[in-house]
Amino acid sequence: MLSLYKIYPEKEGYRFTTTNGDEYYAYFTPFTLQTPYHTTTDIVSFGFECKRRNAQTKPLYDECTARTIVHIINNYFKLNGDNALLYICLNNDDFARHRNLIFGKWFNEFGRGYERHKSDAITGEMNFYSSILIKEDNPEKIKLIEAFYFTINYWFPNE
């Protein structure tokens, strides 16, 4: 089994450096979902950034990076019980679809015990990819899934 990179706690997340010198920052921020019942549900959004040591080289798949990020997500659920975790692939660099595919690959490899519900919204010239991760046995699962899709449709209505 491959090991994890050494993780350093930060104010709102964790930082780690890969063997090739890329620096990752994984973070958690509050997020509010809308519901069809004119109420809100507070959850947490997860994201990560990578500062590549050499931006000119093509990034390679690094299983240790995947395991480290999945470990951070699993640790979140251990500490926060039945809460859900939202993941939004930002499209500020035209790689949102790629990040969404990688996140899906990681979930398929390591996501036992969780459900992933996803949305691919297209509005204007922007593609918006998001997922919500929920423990399979979460008693609020149906309400969280409903609020997730309602929020997506609220912000990105079908045109």
Q: Which of 12-16, 103-107, 125-129, 148-152 has the lowest mean pLDDT?
A: 125-129
Largest CA distance in the chain: 49
CA-to-CA separations, 117 to 47, 88, 113, 129, 135, in angstroms, rounded: 16, 12, 14, 11, 11
> What's the mean per-residue pLDDT of the chain?
86
Statement: residue 2 has pLDDT above 70: no
Selection from 70, 43, 10, 24 nearest residue 146 by Cα: 43
